[in-house]
Amino acid sequence: MRADSETIEPGKADVLARGCSSPIKTATGVWVRCGSRIKSKCASCAELYRGDWAAIARSGVFDGPVERYRFYLLTLTAPSFGRVHRVPRSGPAPRCGCGSAHSAADAALRGVPLDPAQYDYAGQVAWNRDAGVLWDRTRRRLRDRWDSLEYFIVREWQDRGVLHVHAIVRVARVEAPPAERLRDAARTATAVSKVDGSVVEWGAQAQCDAFRADGDGAKTIWYLSKALNYVLKDVATDAGEVPVEVWRHQVALGDAARRMRCSGVCEPQNCSSLVHKRFGSRSQVVSASRRTKHRPGWSFTGLTRTVQRRLRREWWESQQSGAGDASPTVAPAPLEGLAARSRRELVARGWAAP
C-alpha cells in the first residue's frame, strides 16, 4: 500500500487519502492512506480494503463461464494445543470440558485454556508462523490432483488465538471431485517447518461444501458472503475491552511468540519482525491465486488490488486534467459500481443459508 507514495505526485495525494482517519505524510510531503484494514483504526481504509477484496472474490465466480466450474467452500483448522472453554455466541452450548454448559454470558472464557499450565503456547505460535508454508504445500497438492484449481483464501483468527483458513476453490467441472475428496486431500497435506524442521499439519476438523454458481445465485452469494465476513474482523488484540482470562491467555501467547524464532536466522531478543507481535502470524489476511503464463488465476478478469489502485489513480488524474481544480469526491465509476454491487450483495446478508 505504501508503494503508492512513489507514484503519486505531490499535491494529488490529499484527495487520494481523503476519508482516511490517519493519513501518513511521506518524505516527499505526500499524504497517503494509512491502509489499515482494521475498522476500529480507520473505517475508510478498512472499507476500501474490504470493497476491493469483495470485488476480487466476486470476479472469480461471476465474471467467467461459471457453468464450466464447480466451486467449494473449504475450511481448514489448526490442530489442538490443549483444551479450551467452549462458549457459544448465542443459544445453547454443548457441555464444556470444564464441566459446565456455558452461555453467551461467559464470553470472558471464550477460547481460554482449561489448564494454562499444560497448554502448548509455543506449539501454537509456531503453527501460526508455519501456516503459510502449510497452505503452500496444500495448494500444490490440490493442484497436482486437479490442475485447473484456483482459490481465494481468507485467514481468520479463532478465539484461542490461532489462525484458521476459509478458501473458495474453483475447479473445472470436467475434473471436479466430490467435496469430501477435496476436503480430505487438503486436510491430510503436511509441510516441514523452514525454521525448526518439524512437521506441520492441519487439525482434524475440516469442512468442504460444493456449490455451483449458475442457477443457484442466492446460495453462491451466501457462501461468498460467509467467507468475506471474516475479512474485516479485527484481530484478537484489537478488541476493546478484554476480559482478564482472555488477556492472560494473550499475554502467554505473546510471550511465546516473543521467544520463538521467526526464521532460520532470527535471534528473538534482537528481532523486530512483526511476527513476534502477531502470535506468530506472518501471512496476509486475504489472498487469491495469481495469474501466470499458464493459469488464469482466481479473478477471471485479472483484477488485483494493484489494478484497483491504478484505476483509482488514473481516474483521479483524468479528472484533474479535465476539470481544473474541482475536487472529486466519488470513486472511479467502474470501481464504485463493483464495490457497491459487492457491498449490496455480500454485506447485508444474514447467517442462515437460503
How far is Cα 127 from Cα 141, in angstroms, rounded to an integer?
19
Name the minimum Å distance from CB 311 to Zn ion: 19
User: How far apart (Å, rounded) are the C-alpha atoms in residues 74 and 147?
Assistant: 17
Residue from the set 57, 96, 165, 169 that interacts with Zn ion by CB under 5 A: 96
Size of the site for Zn ion (CB under 5 A): 12
* DSSP state for residue 135 in the 8-state scheme: H
Is residue 220 classed as helix, strand or coil in its secondary structure? helix
Beta carbon nearer to Zn ion, 191 or 262: 262
Give the shortest CB-239-to-Zn ion separation in angstroms.
20
CB of 105 to Zn ion, least distance (A): 13
Q: Backbone dihedral region of 297: left (phi > 0), alpha (psi from -120 to 50 degrees) or beta?
A: left
Tally helices (H) and strands (E) across the chain. 9, 9
Which span (147-155, 241-249, 265-273, 289-297) binds Zn ion, by CB under 5 A? 265-273
Written as one letter, the residue type at 174 is V
CB of 44 to Zn ion, least distance (A): 5
Q: Which residue among 37, 70, 85, 313 contacts Zn ion (CB under 5 A)?
A: 85
Tell me which residues in 10-69 interact with Zn ion (CB under 5 A). 20, 33-34, 42, 45
Cell of 192: 516441514
Q: How far is the CB of 233 from Zn ion (least distance, A)?
A: 18
Q: How far apart are CA 312 and CA 237, in angstroms?
A: 32
Note whether 260 binds Zn ion by CB under 5 A: no
* List of residues 6+ apart from 137 with CB closer than 8 A: 189, 190, 191
Which residues here bind Zn ion, judged by CB under 5 A? 20, 33-34, 42, 45, 85, 96, 98, 262, 266, 271, 273
